[in-house]
Amino acid sequence: MEYRTEHDTMGEIKVPADKYWAAQTERSRQNFKIGVGFEYMPVEIINAFAILKKAAAIANNKIIPERMTLKKLELITRVCDEIISGALSDNFPLVVWQTGSGTQSNMNVNEVIANRGNELAGEKILHPNDDVNMSQSSNDTFPTAMHIAAVIEIENKLLPELKRLIETFKRLESDNEGIIKTGRTHLQDAAPLKFSQEISGWRNSLERDLEMILNALNFLRELALGGTAVGTGLNAPKNFDIESAKAVSKITGTQFKTASNKFHALTSKSELVFTHGALKALACDMMKIANDIRWLASGPRCGIGEIKIPENEPGSSIMPGKVNPTQCEQVTMIAVQVLSNDNAISFAASQGNFQLNVFMPVNIYNFLQSVRLLSDSIKSFNDNCASGIKPDENKMNENLNKSLMLVTCLNPVIGYENAAKVAKLAHSKNITLEDACIELKFLSREEFREAVNPAKMV
C-alpha cells in the first residue's frame, strides 16, 4: 500500500494514499482497534454530519462571507452531497469505541471534506478545522448529528413500516368482524369477544405507540449546533445557530430548530432517552402481539389453533413437516434487544459531567440499532406473517362452546354463587354448562338458552 504524509498538532503520520482522511482520523484508527469490521460509526451519523457541515457552511456564508467564501461553500456542498450519496463511504473507518465526544468522527468528516474538496478544486483551499469546522466544535456537532440521524431514520424508515402494519390490522378487523371467540385472561378461559375486537387491541396499541413516537420527535428537533465547546457559542457568529438550523431543515425536508439552551443540549441526552422510551414501548407491544399470535396459532393439533399463519420454511431438522412461528420469534428477539439497548442508552445519558456528555457514540449506536431493527422487524412481520393471518372458525366455535366462562352471563339471572356452582359441576363432570344448570335445577333448558348467548356478550 502506498502512503502519504499528513500532519496535525502532534506531528506527522502516514496515511493511506488512496483515502481522503488525514492525521487525526489516522491516529484514531491506530489507537482504537476495537470492534473493527463490525462496529464502525453508523453510516446514519456520517450522513448527518454531512448534512450539518453543509448547513454550517451555508450559515457561515450568509453571516461571514468574507471567511466562508462562495467558492469554499460550493466545494463543501459538493463533497457533502457525495458523502450522502455513499460515493465516499470507504473513507470513514472509525469505530464507535473512541472518544466519548465523537471528536475523531467529527474530524474524520472534516478531513475528508477538506481533502476531497481540494482535489476537486485542484488547489489547497479548504482547511479541515478553519473552514469545514468553522463556527463549530465536536461538542456541538456530534449531539447535533445524533438528533438529525435519529429524526431522519425514524421518519423515513420506522414510521412507514409501523403505519403499514396498522393498516394490515385494520383490514383484518374488517375481514373478521362477525366472528365470536373465547377470550383469555391469566392464560385461562374468559368471557367471549369478537375476533375483530381482539385485533383492534393490537391495532390501537400500535397507534398509541405511533402517537408517542411522533410526540417525542418534537424534542429531537432541537439542535445543539452553535453551542461550540461548552455551550457559550465561543467562535460562532451571532445567529449562526438559527441560520444553521434553518439550513438543516431545508436540506432534510423536515423541521429542526436551534436548542433554546445550549448548555443543556451539550450535556444532557434526555431527548434521546425519552424518544427511545417510546421505541421501547413499541417493542413491548410488538412482543405482546407476536406472543398472542403464536399462542393463537399453536398446534396444529395439540395447541390453541384458532388462527392460521403463513408457513414460510421447515421448522425442524429432525421432525418432518414441522413448521414454526418464526416471524413471531424474530419480533420477540428484537424486542429483547431494544429493551437491552434502552438500558445502555439510559445509563450513557446519566453520565454527563459538567458541560459535556462523553458517552455519545455508544448512546447513538444503540439508538440507531433499535430504530433499524424495529423497522426491519415490523416490515418482515407484516409481509410474512400478519398480512396472511386467517381465522379457523371451526376451532374458534369449538373452543367458545366448551368455555366454562360463558357462565358469566348467568350472574344477573341466578347470582354469582349459583353460577359458580354450575361452572364447577360442569367442569368436574365434564358436561356442558346447560346440562349442569338443569341438573342443579336453576333454570330450564329454554331459560338457559335465552340467557346464555355469546352474541349478546360481546
How many Å separate Cα 326 from the centre of its chain? 21
Active site residue 127: no
Cell of 372: 433499524
SS3 427: helix
How far apart, in Å, are the Cα atoms of 262 and each of 129, 141, 245, 366, 395? 21, 12, 13, 24, 61
Interior/surface letters 120-140, b for 16+ CB within 10 angstroms, e for the rest = eeeeebbebeebbbbbbbbbb
Q: Are 223 and 248 spatial neighbours (Cβ–Cβ below 8 Å)?
A: yes
Handedness of CA 313, 317, 321, 327 (dihedral sign): negative
Active site residue 186: yes
Q: Are 61 and 73 spatial neighbours (Cβ–Cβ below 8 Å)?
A: yes
Q: Measure the CA–CA gap between 165 and 219, rounded to whole angstroms.
A: 26
SS3 184: strand
- H or E segment and range at residue 223: strand 222-223
Q: Are 51 and 148 spatial neighbours (Cβ–Cβ below 8 Å)?
A: yes
User: Pick the catalytic residue: 186, 260, 317, 428?
Assistant: 186
Q: Are 151 and 95 spatial neighbours (Cβ–Cβ below 8 Å)?
A: no
User: Pick the catalytic residue: 270, 316, 350, 444?
Assistant: 316
Q: Measure the CA–CA gap between 426 and 435, rounded to whole angstroms.
A: 8
End-to-end distance of the chain based on CA atoms, in angstroms? 74
Q: Measure the CA–CA gap between 141 and 236, rounded to whole angstroms.
A: 13
Please give the positions annotated as active site. 186, 316
